[in-house]
Each structure stands twice: as structure tokens, then as C-alpha cells.
Amino acid sequence: MKPSALLAKHLKEVYFGDNWTGSNLKQHLEGVTWQQATMPVQGLNTIATLVYHMTYYVRAVIMVLEGRPLDAKDAYSFDHPPIRSQADWDQFLEQVWADVEILAAAIGQMPEDSLWEDFYDNKYGTYYRNLLGVIEHCHYHLGQLVLIKKMLMHAEDG
């Protein structure tokens, strides 16, 4: 399997499953209500905020792969749209899943040589570095999300 296809597979696995860790975003968001997703816990980011933050960079890479300028700013990466109902939450998640599918398809079609080219600007390193970074970033925040969810469930039981 070519490296771009492996990166695409790895991205889909952290979101949808079948990865080495046995943990994925879709699995851990199953059954999470909009109220739980937006409930602050001990000053931490909410589940919704973490999901938005993870996918913010997915969207940024999609824009670059589509030939658009990189205009993502870390300062905006936590600013998700309001979620005031289950319908808002469900729609938000559907967009997340769709964005990941779009990025995975685009990565899977990349010629191997382009992985070693500069991503948008040479100060960001190569496409490979940035694509792998998005995946690693998702794994990192998935761990946080799982702990926050456990804290919410414990508070509800207790």
C-alpha cells in the first residue's frame, strides 16, 4: 500500500475505528447527547469543543489540498458554532464525518512524491508531516475526550 493510502487509512481509523489502539472518535461519541457534549467539566474543554478543534485542522488541510489558501488560525480552532439541540449536535457530527471522508479520499489520491513537498509554505514542513500531525493530534484529543466523557458519566451516576 502506498504511503498516502496508509495515511488516509490511519485518519479514517482514528475517527471510525479498526485502529491499533482499539479506540476511535465515533465509538466514543455514540450515545453522547448534545447536553453532555456541551457540558463543562472542571474547567476543561467540552466534548463538542474538542471535536470541533480536532476537525478544524482536518478542514484546513482540505482547503490546502483543494488549492485554496491556508487561512486556519489556532486562535479560532476552539470556536465552534452554538449547539442548542440534539439536531444541532447530530448535524455537527454529520459534517465532521463528511469532512474526514473528504480528507481521507484526497490523501488517498495523492501521488507519493507530493508527500515530501512543502505543505503550503516551507515553514510548515512537508505534506507528510502535516497529515501525520493531524492524525496524531486527533489521537491526543481523543484521549482527553474519553476522560471527559468518563467524568461526565461518573457525575451523572453519582
Distance CA 51, CA 66 (A): 23
The pLDDT-based confidence of 110 (bands split at 50, 70, 90) is very high
pLDDT higher than 80, residue 157: no
Quote the strand ranges of 31-105, DSSP E: none
- Take residue 134 and report the three cell numbers written for it: 493531524
For the chain, the domains span: 3-157
CATH, range 3-157? 1.20.120.450
Distance CA 44, CA 33 (A): 18
Average pLDDT, the chain: 95
- The pLDDT of residue 19: 84
| Residue 66 DSSP label | T
- The pTM (predicted TM-score) of the whole model is 0.93
- The pLDDT of residue 158: 62
Tens digits of per-residue pLDDT, 68-98? 999 999 999 999 999 999 999 999 999 999 9
